[in-house]
């Protein structure tokens, strides 16, 4: 069930089992890959865990498509047996490393802050499940995809049984699904409670591992962790100065505390940091094994979040060109080529027509400045007047001004990254700049000037990638100021940056805690949870369910019932079906069937729809009336409580006599009777 209670002993027992699997299923396979490397133990552990997660996804992908999923247990057993045999040889080569206690403190505090956003997704209090504090629609959707992958590879559409799920990167869901399937762990708790604790801490350790590879100072590492975990926008400062609405009335585009509000992105960032760390290690000492695993990690990033993947691939491209032309080396080029080879089956198997971009000009900034909280709509009206008069120089002045304003407020204090000079930039290796600067620029520009065919304005995710990785250059400038200027100047500068940055993080943590305490967010009442439990326990796994959207309108926006009942859905989460470009004709057909079954007064039409389609249970509530009262003769009130009614469909009880008129009629007369009835009756009559 996608909900948990803190007093549930089974929840904590499963939590313990998860950590056992982290060691067996993630760490051991990953540690074998790092057999001949010499990373410090504090960094080797998170690197091994991330590598093991990706390897688990790879084997899950392969055995799933080959329909030999039992091989997963052989994979785990084989890796464990080999590791036990060679572990002494592995740990004889590990070097020591003294971790900075302040950096470790920032990792722990930052992880706690991030968990406040996501950890209480599905928290049960007084029998009510509350989904706080991220986007409940997205979180239920991510959890549903993971659940689908437990059942089958490739997954089905959560809201439309019989159709493969396409046009979405679900590689992170494979990691969750394989972990749940192999070790029999609850999917939803695994994704939002168990794994997030591990992943948030590992991200911080990987940042420190990368800092160790590029040989930067402790001060740089501390600033990097600060900006990564607590970095945010500056929108709230402008709103406060404007005094038009409360200070935090507008949300940020992205902030460190909210990273796990988008689970796939968090996973992609995690894997990208491991891949980049291995890339710089590979450049220092070549290893064929490391070359292959680094490429596999980079390819997997796109399978988790394509926007983060494209960021990395631009970096690989520019660094490859530099190495080949300047250094006559091909290490990064080989990584790039292998990445493409691995990427093809990972990305294109799940995508049919996603990813097209179209130009939108300055729409994003124009749309931003007219937000009511900013109280700047008069400037956009002025721009429109100039545009109507074809005064293009003035229009461009406004557009450029909006653009600067947009990026300054979106990036917040991270915008100081633009103040780096030649002296500060020299503190990082040229290879680092070649990997990060081009994708920082390109991602920001693509995200700003383009929308996409699937997801439309979802291209803001490109800007989010720039926001996340800009932390490196914000940290570089801060450490440069504090190391090169007088001590008192550095202290004042640091205090100012912290005070300007931290309010959003503090507010979000406080607001998250307040929402958790008061059970705010998307709520599923006990009655619905009880009904869902009954369906899971007393129906067959392949029984198909149809939801009455009149009774549960929230199911239109997200596959809520798909996650709750863990059964195939005939038609659910209509918005998500459109969002990911499920077949439009099939969506229209199933919508018609649903509406006919629940609202049409003709028993002939209702019976025809049920006979021609596999629908075993209907979910509605006691306040909804069926259009055809006569259809009650083949409906059974299977379960009910004050808020929900579950109806079992008995097709065998549908009287054949109601079809006699249609069976004797010509196809034309059927259409005259009702033009939409014939397509479904053809299947039933075998015509």
Residues 299-331: pLDDT tens digits? Answer: 999 999 999 999 999 999 999 999 999 888 899
Give the separation between CA 593 and CA 410, rounded to whole angstroms.
45
Please tell me the predicted confidence (pLDDT) of residue 635. 87
Residue with tokens 């008129």: 661
Note the pLDDT of residue 468.
Answer: 97
Q: What is the pTM of this model?
A: 0.90
Judge whether residue 93 has pLDDT over 70.
no
Summarised one tens digit per residue, pLDDT across range 450-496 is 988 765 677 889 999 999 999 999 999 999 999 988 888 989 999 99
Q: What's residue 673's pLDDT?
A: 37
Helices (H), 100-194: 101-118, 136-151, 171-183, 187-189
In the predicted model, what is the mean pLDDT of the chain?
88
Count CA within 13 A, CB hemisphere, residue 141.
28
Task: Write out the H or E segment, with its range, that includes residue 549.
Answer: none
pLDDT band at 652 (very low <50, low <70, confident <90, very high): confident
Radius of gyration of the chain (CA): 28
In the numeric block, the tokens 């079906």 are attached to 577
Q: Phi-psi category of 127—alpha, beta or left, where left has phi over 0 and alpha has psi -120 to 50?
A: left
Sign of CA dihedral 399, 405, 407, 409: negative
Helices (H), 38-135: 41-65, 71-91, 101-118
Percentage of the chain lying above the pLDDT 90 cut: 60
**Mean pLDDT over residues 574-597, rounded?**
87
pLDDT digits (tens, 9 = 90+) for 552-561: 888 888 888 9
Give the per-residue pLDDT at 674. Answer: 41
Beta strand 121-125 with 128-131: parallel, antiparallel or unpaired? antiparallel
Contact between 594 and 570 under an 8 Å Cβ cutoff? The reply is yes
Q: 339 or 36: which carries more pLDDT confidence?
A: 339
Does residue 636 have a pLDDT over 50?
Answer: yes
pLDDT at 660: 57
The DSSP code sequence of 365-423 is: HHHHHT-GGG--HHHHHHHHHHHHTT-HHHHHHHHHHHHHHHHHHHHGGGGGGGG--HH
**Across 186-190, 575-579, 607-611, which has the greatest mean pLDDT?**
186-190
**pLDDT of 659 above 70:** no
Percent of the chain past pLDDT 70, that is, above it, reads: 93
Distance CA 440, CA 463 (A): 8
The model's confidence at residue 354, banded by pLDDT at 50, 70 and 90, is low
Sign, Cα dihedral of 459, 463, 465, 468: negative
Identify the weakest region by mean pLDDT among 158-172, 232-246, 544-558, 654-668.
654-668
Q: If you average pLDDT over residues 526-548, what whole number do you get?
A: 91
Which bin fits 573, alpha (ψ -120 to 50), beta or left (φ > 0)?
A: left
Q: By mean pLDDT, which of 8-17, 170-179, 283-292, 349-358 is the weakest?
A: 349-358
The answer to whether 146 and 156 are in contact (CB under 8 A) is no
Q: Could you give the residue ranges of the DSSP H alpha helices within 159-305?
A: 171-183, 187-189, 195-213, 218-230, 235-242, 263-284, 288-304
Q: Please determine, for residue 169, whether its predicted confidence score (pLDDT) is greater than 90.
A: no
How many angstroms separate the CA atoms of 626 and 624, rounded?
7
User: Mean pLDDT, to the nearest integer, of 516-536?
Assistant: 89
- As given in the structure block, the two tokens for residue 679 are 């397509």
Using alpha carbons only, what angle is made at residue 433 by residues 427 and 439, rounded to the nearest 5 degrees? 150
């Amino acid at each position: 069930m996608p909900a948990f209670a803190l007093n549930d002993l089974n929840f904590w027992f499963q939590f313990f089992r998860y950590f056992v699997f982290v060691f067996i299923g993630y760490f051991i396979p990953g540690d074998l890959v790092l057999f001949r490397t010499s990373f410090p133990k504090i960094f080797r552990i998170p690197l091994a865990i991330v590598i093991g997660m990706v390897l688990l996804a790879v084997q899950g992908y392969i055995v799933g498509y080959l329909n030999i999923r039992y091989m997963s247990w052989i994979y785990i057993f084989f890796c464990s047996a080999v590791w036990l045999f060679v572990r002494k040889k592995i740990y004889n080569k590990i070097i020591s490393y003294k971790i900075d206690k302040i950096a470790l403190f920032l990792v722990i505090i930052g992880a706690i802050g991030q968990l406040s956003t996501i950890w209480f997704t599905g928290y049960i209090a007084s029998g009510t499940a509350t989904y706080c504090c991220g986007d409940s629609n997205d979180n239920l959707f991510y959890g549903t995809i993971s659940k689908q992958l437990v059942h089958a590879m490739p997954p089905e559409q959560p809201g439309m049984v019989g159709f493969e799920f396409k046009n979405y990167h679900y590689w992170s869901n494979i990691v969750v699904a394989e972990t749940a399937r192999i070790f029999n762990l609850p999917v939803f708790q695994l994704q939002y409670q168990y794994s997030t604790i591990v992943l948030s801490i590992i991200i911080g350790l990987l940042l420190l591992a990368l800092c160790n590879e590029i040989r930067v100072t402790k001060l740089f590492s501390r600033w990097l962790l600060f900006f990564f975990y607590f970095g945010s926008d500056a929108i709230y400062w402008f709103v406060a100065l404007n005094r038009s609405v409360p200070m935090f009335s507008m949300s940020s585009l992205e902030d460190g505390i909210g990273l796990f509000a988008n689970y796939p992105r968090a996973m992609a960032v995690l894997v990208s940091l491991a891949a980049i760390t291995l890339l710089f290690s590979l450049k220092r000492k070549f290893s064929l094994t490391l070359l292959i695993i680094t490429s596999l990690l980079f390819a997997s990033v796109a399978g988790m979040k394509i926007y983060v993947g494209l960021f990395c691939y631009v970096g690989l491209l520019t660094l490859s060109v530099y190495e080949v032309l300047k250094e006559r080396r091909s290490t990064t080029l080989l990584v790039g080529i292998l990445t493409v080879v691995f990427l093809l089956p990972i990305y294109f198997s799940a995508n049919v027509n996603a990813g097209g971009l179209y130009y939108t000009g300055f729409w994003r900034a124009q749309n931003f400045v007219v937000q009511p909280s900013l109280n700047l709509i008069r400037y956009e009206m002025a721009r429109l007047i100039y545009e109507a008069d074809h005064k293009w120089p003035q229009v461009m002045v406004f557009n450029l001004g909006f653009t600067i304003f947009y990026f300054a407020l979106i990036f917040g204090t991270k915008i100081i990254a633009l103040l780096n000079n030649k002296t500060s930039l020299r503190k990082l290796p040229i290879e680092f700049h070649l990997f990060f600067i081009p994708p920082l620029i390109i991602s920001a520009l693509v995200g700003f000037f383009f929308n996409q065919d699937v997801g439309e304005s979802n291209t803001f995710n490109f800007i989010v990638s720039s926001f996340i990785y800009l932390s490196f250059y914000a940290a570089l400038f801060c450490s440069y100021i504090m190391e090169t200027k007088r001590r008192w100047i550095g202290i004042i500068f640091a205090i100012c940056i912290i005070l300007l940055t931290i309010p959003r993080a503090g507010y979000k943590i406080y607001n998250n805690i307040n929402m958790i305490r008061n059970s705010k967010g998307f709520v599923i009442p006990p009655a619905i949870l009880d009904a869902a439990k009954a369906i899971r326990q007393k129906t067959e796994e392949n029984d198909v369910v149809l939801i009455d959207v009149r009774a549960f309108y929230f199911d239109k926006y997200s596959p809520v019932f798909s996650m709750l009942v863990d059964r195939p859905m005939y038609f659910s989460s209509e918005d998500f079906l459109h969002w990911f470009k499920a077949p439009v004709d099939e969506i229209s057909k199933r919508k018609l069937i649903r509406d006919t079954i629940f609202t049409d007064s003709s028993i002939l039409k209702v019976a025809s729809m049920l006979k021609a389609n596999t629908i075993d249970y209907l979910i509605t509530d006691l306040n909804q009336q069926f259009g055809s009262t006569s259809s009650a003769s083949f409906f059974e009130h299977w379960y009910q409580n004050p808020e929900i009614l579950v109806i079992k469909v008995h097709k065998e009880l549908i009287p054949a006599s109601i079809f006699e008129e249609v069976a004797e009629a010509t196809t034309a007369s059927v259409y005259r009777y009702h033009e939409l009835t014939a397509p479904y009756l053809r299947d039933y009559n075998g015509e």
